[in-house]
Structure 1
Amino acid sequence: MPLIMDVAVPIGSYYLFKDAFGMSTLMALGLSSVVPAVRTVWGVVEARTINAFAALILFVNVVGLLLSFVAGDPRLMLAKDSGVSSAIGIGILVSVAMGKPMMTAGMKPWLVKGAADREAAWSRLQSASPAFRRAERVFSVVWGVVLLVECVVRVVGAYTLPVDTMVWLGSVVLAVAMVIGFMVSGALAAGPMAHMLIAEVKAQGAEKRPVALAAAG
């Protein structure tokens, strides 16, 4: 649900307003910023915490609003498309530096799978295992670096390759970056974390089994 509210709703509403309703980029970005803005302010006022994903999407939309005023040079128009990737990448790396890796919110549901024993195992590992916390940080770092590199590649391409080539190549670069991000983050972080979770669940089950047998006896 947090991913739906903080990421899917604002991004989906942007494309809905822009493509389906024919609104301008400026208007679509402004309207799609309402939900993340409300959730960010609500988190600060009510919980005294910053909703990382909502704040990031809001930041990205603000960057998009500022970049929407850039017009004229076709190469500059192509280069500005990478501004979103760089904003997200910087936001992710800052969250790691602050000790709250942002990408954990996106990764955790896939590893925990809604199981209570895995949720408990996650909490134990997060508090007691340096290796687990290190892998958690690595996952976010990989995505932050991948998005920043993708941004640099697209900016360089915008000013060194023909405009017609970069119109389609920009999407290819983004797709390749996503594949690399999934593969590298999975190998270096998500995979090892999944193994640690499974091992922790089994270990906890082994500890509870003698207690249950004793109680039954």
Structure 2
Amino acid sequence: MTTNTGSKKQNFAPLLMDVAVPIGSYYLLKSGFGMGTVAALGWSSVVPAVRTVWGVVASRTVNAFAALILFVNVVGLSLSLVAGDPRLMLAKDSGVSSAIGIGVLVSVAMGRPMMTAGMKPFLVKGDPEREAAFERLLSGSAAFRRAERRFSLVWGVALLGECVARVVGAYTLPVDTMVWLGTVVMIGTMGVAAVVSGGLAAGPMADMIAAELEGEDAPAPAVLPSLVAAR
């Protein structure tokens, strides 16, 4: 039981630190504490900035999710300094989706699908055996790797589509309408992407993990007795 709990924490910690904490802290600072957009974006960039610098210094690697969220916040912070136009401020929100979508698609092209970090915890479910099967398939199964890339591809395309829809809406619909409709578009995009990526990628990957575990647990085939009588 202790091992499973530790494995769950290990799998979900990067997702929480790189995505949930920066985004959650932005909305908390802005809506909960009444902080301005610029200040909220700046302070919510602290965690991904520390994670990115720490990864480079400690292990000489760049944490992709932390670096991407940091980039998105810096872009948003820069655009927030542009004064005045409420439509530009609405379009700015879609810039987050476009930056993440482009980053995800680039990661697929480079052979390191970024959305795997968010998908893996739901597939391994904190089970060390499932996690080991996941890693074996990732290193030895072409079909598993294709599904892994497909998962990120669906999300990258969905996020870019959401960006286009919200930019068009920001400049063609009334501002008051787009304030709430932008959120509806975002939630709808997430729902569609989750269903499509689940059917095309995460579901087949879960089936492959289950098959891998069943194959591992299957007893070795019995040795057939020799058909030639021993002399």
- Say yes or no: TM over 0.5: yes
2:16 is equivalent to residue 4 of structure 1: yes
2:207 is equivalent to residue 195 of structure 1: yes
Instruction: State the 1:92 CA deviation.
Output: 0.9
User: Which residue identity does 2:183 align to in structure 1?
Assistant: S
Q: Which residue matches 1:123?
A: 135
Q: Which residue matches 1:182?
A: 194
Deviations 1:183-207 (A, max 9, x none): 1100110000000000000001115
1:138–1:188 Cα contact (<8 Å) kept: yes
104-113 or 6-15: which moved more?
6-15
List aligned pairs for 1:57-96, cutoff 5 A. 57-96=69-108
Deviations 1:89-128 (A, max 9, x none): 1111111122111110000010001112111111111111
- Aligned equivalents of 1:77, 1:35: Cα separation in 2: 24
Instruction: State the 1:136 CA deviation.
Output: 0.3
User: Which residue identity does 1:53 align to in structure 2?
Assistant: F
2:177 is equivalent to residue 165 of structure 1: yes
- Aligned equivalents of 2:204, 2:68: Cα separation in 1: 27
1:71–1:77 Cα contact (<8 Å) kept: no
User: Which residue identity does 1:144 align to in structure 2?
Assistant: G
User: Which residue identity does 2:56 align to in structure 1?
Assistant: V
- Aligned equivalents of 1:23, 1:209: Cα separation in 2: 67
Q: TM-score, normalised by structure 1?
A: 0.92
- Aligned equivalents of 1:148, 1:5: Cα separation in 2: 24
- Aligned equivalents of 1:208, 1:43: Cα separation in 2: 44
Q: Root-mean-square deviation (CA), in Å?
A: 1.5
- Aligned equivalents of 1:153, 1:20: Cα separation in 2: 28
Equivalent in 45, 48, 55 of residue 36 of structure 1: 48
1:136–1:189 Cα contact (<8 Å) kept: yes
- Aligned equivalents of 1:96, 1:178: Cα separation in 2: 19
2:57 is equivalent to residue 48 of structure 1: no
Distance 1:108 1:59, change over 3 A: same
Q: Which runs of 5+ in 1 are unaligned?
A: 211-217
Q: Which residue matches 2:163?
A: 151
- Aligned equivalents of 1:177, 1:3: Cα separation in 2: 20
Q: Which residue matches 1:213?
A: none
- Aligned equivalents of 1:7, 1:70: Cα separation in 2: 25
Between the aligned residues of both structures, percent identity stands at 75
1:81 partner SS: helix
Instruction: State the 1:162 CA deviation.
Output: 2.3
1:82 partner SS: helix
Instruction: State the 1:208 CA deviation.
Output: 6.8
1:36–1:54 Cα contact (<8 Å) kept: yes
Instruction: State the 1:74 CA deviation.
Output: 2.5
Which of 1 and 2 has greater Rg?
A: 2
Q: TM-score, normalised by structure 2?
A: 0.86
User: Which residue identity does 1:160 align to in structure 2?
Assistant: T
* Corresponding pairs, count: 210
- Aligned equivalents of 2:93, 2:221: Cα separation in 1: 56
